[in-house]
Amino acid sequence: MEKIELKGIQKSYGKEIAVRHLDLTVEPGAFLTILGPSGCGKTTTLRAIAGLEEPDAGEIMLGERTVFSRSEGIIIPPEHRNIGLIFQSYALWPHMTVERNITLALKAQKLSSSDMTSRLEHALEMVQLTPYRQRYPSELSGGQQQRVAVARLIALRSRFLLMDEPLSNLDAKLRTEMRAELKRLHRDLEATTVYVTHDQIEALTLSDIVVVMNDGLVMQEGAPYDIYHHPANMFVAEFIGDPRINIFRGSVIDQDGTKVLDCGDLKIPLPPDLDAKSEALIATVRPEDIHLSTEAREGWLKVALESIQPTGAQTILQVRSENTAMTLLQPGFIRMEIGEHIWVDVDHKAVNFFDPETEQNLINRS
């Protein structure tokens, strides 16, 4: 297994900077996902690794090999980078059978015909498409076409896998199945993988490391758990999570000797290690970190139910007190009447605090 390393990668299109001085290391065999909104520079980064895009500055290493260096004038073409690629459109040749689509990709490797056949058969078996080998892409469903693209990758035995929104053309159920399949594929092939998506569920479920990008810059790089629970800044806090994270703005006051953030009806105690420079702060709380009671409880906030959306396994509730609104996510299928009073309590351990000026997380958990 080998690592992928990007150093100081910069790419502009005219006046627009797509990627700004990006440093990135994908550890050998790791699954790293670049996540971010449309236009943040994800695809440009991936295409630069593949050799389909030439950065204006920086270096790219695949294992020990430098495949791109602006300063040394090294530009190895894509076909010599030993990379397996899957893009949003699976790029199957419409006039070729499944079998030909796979074997054509192996041509550059100059295998013997028996090696070629055994790679083809193994790949088709792995994606369960053996009975479909003589079909044309137009005779396959979207999911089956996607599996042909996966089979092609398996047959190639690349040490590096690059995938750009490979699941976005599939319906929701198939997407969940293919997600599991891609995860298995990555494990089986032991290939160092970079995956690009704007779908946070894909990023959180598939990855060892998630890199959140915005406007050509890395906003945070970390394990899915840290990205979700300890967002480095407000952008990551708001971008990750559905329903969206709750945001409370308030000012720090002294209440019976302890510092609390006064957000109107809601008072949130500050952790003792918080080094807040300003009086005003932003607190964020995930909807599942607010507890709910149908009976009054000491110290809990009384709110009225404004909307309720059971999704089956979970229920999304919107509630409001006199001057605070918030969203809750509760397990189970909850049935309640709009306007009903309930009591809520924020789990203090799950609160993140941000500086309103810099929008950076004030709690250093590293």
Sheet with 31-35, strands from edge to edge, namely 83-86, 160-164, 192-197, 31-35, 209-214, 217-222
**Binding marks (x or -) toward ligand ATP, 299..318, rule CB under 6 A?**
--------------------
Residue 44 binding ligand ATP, by CB under 6 A: yes
What is the per-residue DSSP string for 232-254?
SBHHHHHHS-SSPPEEEEEEEEE
**Minimum CB–partner distance for residue 61 and ligand ATP (Å):** 21
Q: Which two tokens stand for residue 333?
A: 């299928």
**Minimum CB–partner distance for residue 362 and ligand ATP (Å):** 29
Residue 20 binding ligand ATP, by CB under 6 A: no
Q: Is 77 helix (H, G, I), strand (E, B) or coil?
A: coil
How far apart CA 249 and CA 264 sit, in angstroms, is 9
**Cβ distance to ligand ATP smaller for residue 168 or 307:** 168
Residue 193 binding ligand ATP, by CB under 6 A: no
Find out whether 21 and 9 touch, Cβ atoms under 8 Å: yes
**Minimum CB–partner distance for residue 4 and ligand ATP (Å):** 17
Q: Which residue has its beta carbon closest to ligand ATP?
A: 43
By CB under 6 A, the residues from 197 to 226 that bind ligand ATP are 198
Q: Binding segment for ligand ATP among 12-20, 76-84, 93-101, 265-273 (CB under 6 A)?
A: 12-20
**Cβ distance to ligand ATP smaller for residue 216 or 222:** 216
DSSP letter assigned to residue 281: E
**Minimum CB–partner distance for residue 143 and ligand ATP (Å):** 22
Q: Binding segment for ligand ATP among 13-21, 154-162, 334-342, 353-361 (CB under 6 A)?
A: 13-21
**Binding marks (x or -) toward ligand ATP, 24..43, rule CB under 6 A?**
------------x-xxxxxx
Nearest to 251 by CA among 267, 235, 239: 267
Q: List residues near ligand ATP by CB under 6 A.
A: 13, 16, 18, 36, 38-44, 198
